[in-house]
Chain A
């Protein structure tokens, strides 16, 4: 079975202006949303308390809110989580109200209200100092990952490829974050992990394309750079689509049956894989062309005896 006819001949690079506009619009939208609305950061980053409770049967939120208010938590956000038998309570950090014991008070209070038939499913408390650290570390991790990749690709290929790869990665990360901002989805530690995995995945795709571009530059003695990139994209297209498909298959499995805790993670990765597939074709390749790659940049350095220096064993 094949996804495509023997060897496709799509003129990807011919439409690169259109793709540029398309990406540009999406980037502006994402950055706009991130600037205007920001991310709905989870308590991992903001600090605060999160409590998930399970009741034997459906529970009315109004009653819970009243009790919480009476117990001294007027600002608590109460909502159903998954089913109507599960309740999620969020308490934002406030001056003098950011202690771990707070959740005990909430739970003991609600236990008495429901007569003890209460299942404490999850408590997360993050102190303000920890939240700050996590935010800082998260941002730093993203930068270091990008930088490490920049260096590796720069060493293995050429600096223009490295810049192109990082441009594609930045594109993917911004669009994924933008999606979370526009849809108002919770951004927590697992989503951050997913975004970093997106970096890894998208890069994977980009590298495969670049590898073929390099090979073709060396092999095909004639042809414009645009043409060579086009041929390379067509040659790798079957693989790009197949791998994206298998990855999407497992991600959809995670999305639909992985449970609530892994939902955001799966969402971010699905978005990232789709965007990453697109960007490895359009952003990464377009960037390399725009930076003016030419055949002479990729010709292997000849040794004196004329043997090729090749990384391949």
Chain B
């Protein structure tokens, strides 16, 4: 008997091999340290920026290896990390705040390959360096904030409906408590309030002397509040991360209350944390129209005024007196003005805020008012040998509008250019006024030097482990061992190809998973070869032994691999970051090794030994 694969099987194996090699190829070329320049508002970069950057760099004696113009970014490649860092520092200084200058790693594959679309493996933060935060939004506080707004509103409602109450107070964590002197008033209050505020649920409680009503948000409203709280925080985090200058930030919801922030390649991780941990507030101030902005810029700020900047960097002079702070805002939503159909932002104030605002704006009709967005950052520094926590405040005018009417409980900001702008403004207003507290509950930071070290060590242990196994197999199984070695090499290429294709994150434990797979992948071949040896020892012919060896080992290999796969899948399901990385490479390795060790080696052995009546096998 002869051992031969049909042509289609050989072609299939060859096909898989070629596809694998194609997807693994981008990893061969490595990555260039690069600097990415984009406009901070996400607008397309101008055409002459390329020349401008080249000029800035050439003055300092830095040359970029290549410059690539993207749609909304310009990518400068450098030969080494040192030049990259120098260039980034220089560009940050010269370009100013309108541009985001971020460090990046750009795949260094040749142009024709990049055109075809494959991408190299995505390195995890523990390999490229960077910051990973897990943040939790304090949902109890968010709900409590919402109920606090209703507390004021309920008081106003009771007064306007002439319903006398003993007290109305917010009970943190258990809604709003209203108490009345009689059951009749209480019941009337309940029906009025229920009609006015459908988002609230009411519960009557009696206690001899007092007739109580407990109000709390209904489940739909709570859900809404939680969703908003998360969305606002994600928006705010995006804004702040933009300021940091990170090439490929990840800001993602995780579960119902958590946000993952990943900032690859951040150098000063302490600063990153301080910027991310900032809190924001809002202020409404009148524009100072009596004085000149130009002269104020030269240092002569008139008394009673303060110099601010708008988002686009233009200076603007606002009055020192604050009309209203963001604390009184209960809602800000974007939409369209009914009459004109232009984009607008609708703002709702609580009753106290409405009273204050209405008083202060009655004499300001026709004048301009600015909205100031203020970020409070806390920085830790050592001053005279003591640790000092300093507050740094960054204020920015996010909108200027003319007051058309006396402003009350509900008003709108119109005259916005686009619905995107309206949405951004609404989100910023909410972020400043309504943000639920957020806390970092997990941090994993890897400095750039350790990241590089991890890559080097990981790579080296893969190579050395791989070579040790190759040597052992060649010695132990001779010719057949070499076939297994070929399969092992192909297996390594396939793992890299699948990781690149899926763009799964490669982490240090992931590399450990690859190393382990290398050790375990030969197991299938060991099983087969030992079986063939047994068959030969039993006096069977070489061809029959090859056939029986593969046949009999198959179910054992399948069982053994499936059970290991169960463990790997469970790991994936339960693990976080680093453990997941291990589970991914282990699972991929098990699957690809089944293919290479069973089909791959069989094809080669069939080709080399299967066609002729071999007398002895090199085994």
Contacts and interface: CB of A to CB of B under 8 A. Distances in A.
B460 A257 contact: yes
Contact of B449 (A1, A54, A107, A311): A54
Interface residues of A, number: 85
A259 interface: yes
B526 A242 contact: yes
B519 A109 contact: no
Most buried by B among A6, A103, A109, A258: A258
Given A254-B461, A269-B516, A109 B382 contact: yes
Contacts of A197: 516, 567, 571, 582, 586
A199 interface: yes
Interface in B552-582: 552, 554-556, 559-568, 570-571, 573-576, 578-579, 582
Most buried by B among A124, A192, A200: A200
B376 interface: no
A141 B554 contact: no
Nearest to A103: B443
Interface stretch (A23-31, A129-137, A291-299): A129-137
Given A6-B537, A127-B442, A211-B555, A148 B566 contact: yes
Given A108-B387, A193-B575, A250 B516 contact: yes
B440 A125 contact: yes
A144 B566 CA distance: 10
Interface in A252-277: 253-254, 257-259, 261-262, 265-266, 269
Interface stretch (A114-122, A175-183, A221-229, A282-290): A114-122
Interface stretch (A13-21, A58-66, A201-209): A201-209
B196 interface: no
Interface in B476-524: 476-478, 508-509, 512, 515-516, 518-520, 522-523
Contact of A245 (B450, B472, B578): B472
Contact of A123 (B269, B508, B534, B586): B269
A105 B446 CA distance: 17
Interface stretch (B42-50, B91-99, B236-244, B451-459): B451-459
Interface stretch (A33-41, A149-157, A301-309): A149-157
A77 interface: no
Contacts of A1: 475-478
Contacts of B520: 201, 204, 243, 246-247
B473 interface: yes
Contact of B519 (A125, A196, A247): A247
Contacts of A254: 461, 465, 512, 515-516
Given A200-B567, A265-B509, A311-B555, A239 B460 contact: no
Contact of A246 (B526, B559, B583): B526
B472 A148 contact: no
Contact of B574 (A7, A105, A137, A201): A137
A105 B380 contact: yes
A97 interface: no
B508 A261 contact: yes
Contacts of A170: none
Contacts of B382: 108-109, 111-112
Given A122-B447, A130-B441, A254-B461, A207 B563 contact: yes
Given A204-B520, A242-B526, 13 more contacts: A54-B449, A54-B450, A72-B387, A101-B277, A120-B270, A121-B447, A141-B575, A193-B509, A236-B530, A243-B520, A246-B519, A257-B464, A259-B454
Q: Which 10 A-B pairs have the closest CB atoms?
A: A250-B465, A100-B440, A112-B382, A127-B441, A200-B567, A141-B574, A250-B519, A200-B564, A253-B465, A247-B519
12 contacts: A1-B477, A100-B277, A119-B447, A121-B449, A123-B444, A200-B564, A211-B556, A239-B527, A242-B476, A247-B523, A251-B519, A261-B508
Interface of B: 126, 133-134, 136, 269-270, 273-274, 277, 378, 380-382, 385, 387, 439-447, 449-450, 453-454, 457-458, 460-461, 464-466, 468-469, 472-473, 475-478, 508-509, 512, 515-516, 518-520, 522-523, 526-527, 530, 533-534, 537, 551-552, 554-556, 559-568, 570-571, 573-576, 578-579, 582-583, 586
